[in-house]
Amino acid sequence: MEHVEQKVVLITGASSGIGAETARVLARHGAKVVLSARREDRLKELVGEIGENAAYLASDVTRREDMEALVSLAKERFGRVDVLFANAGIMPGGNMSEMKVANWMAMVDINVKGVLNAMAAVLPEFTAQKRGHILVTSSMAGTKSVPGNAVYCGTKHFVRAMLDSFRMESIQEGTHIRTTTIYPGAIRTELLNTIAPSETKAMVEEFYKNVGLEPEVIANATGRSEASKRTQALYEELKNTQLSETDQKYPDQLIAQMESEQDKINRSSYN
């Protein structure tokens, strides 16, 4: 993994799953990581594991001032900011007819506003230095529609459209800010913990147990994306696959159904 050494990387949602594993992978290759999440005990443990090339701030992506404080910490500790990995997200699934409006708003606050708050914090730095890299975790749910997850899908479609539009703006303005959108499928993280107990949750958990990938697969892909010259990572949708009844209910997880898909992620060159 070249061109990662000495890069200063901010990671939100860093206390577990993809965020935590990405911090480990990048730090092993010489990057300096500044970690954000609400669970301070998890962050403290992870920074203790990584060592002097890591710092953390217990912070909430829904608070813009927290993201600004994260940037300040990175500059104070490591002198600059090179990369933002906006990874924090939740997925409390359920049909909209269930009227769990508080869950809808929480997803908008974290999955949408959280990304915007993090970007707002780094953009002045990236624009001034005319370089930077913004990576955002979308989902395969951001590429299609999925029943039982309508609001979550909406937030992930937003991420996809917003970041691609921003990419075009950066090209027009000559700010040289690179972007990468990551589309994970079924990844075994604590994301499922945000789904309230239900028949739907039990079905999804069984699906993830059978075909889910480990977070380090995405972490390695994220690291290679920062090391590459391409601005956006795209995972191709599986085609001509025989679907089980469960798969038909959760088409956004097809990327994780076949072992060969993991090979595809590992082989991605992002050139």
Give the gyration radius of the chain's Cα atoms.
18
Helix 17-28, helix 40-50: angle, nearest 10: 20
Q: Which residues contact 193 (CB under 8 A, 6 or more apart)?
A: none
Catalytic residue among 56, 152, 208, 235: 152
Q: Is 152 a catalytic residue?
A: yes
Q: How far apart are CA 70 and CA 12, in angstroms?
A: 10
The residue assigned the tokens 């590429």 is 143
Distances (CA, A) of 13 to 36, 86, 94: 6, 8, 22
Q: How far apart are CA 11 and CA 83, in angstroms?
A: 9
The CB density around residue 14, as the number of other CB atoms within 10 Å, is 30
Report yes or no: 103 and 29 within 8 Å, Cβ to Cβ. no
Cite the active site residues: 152
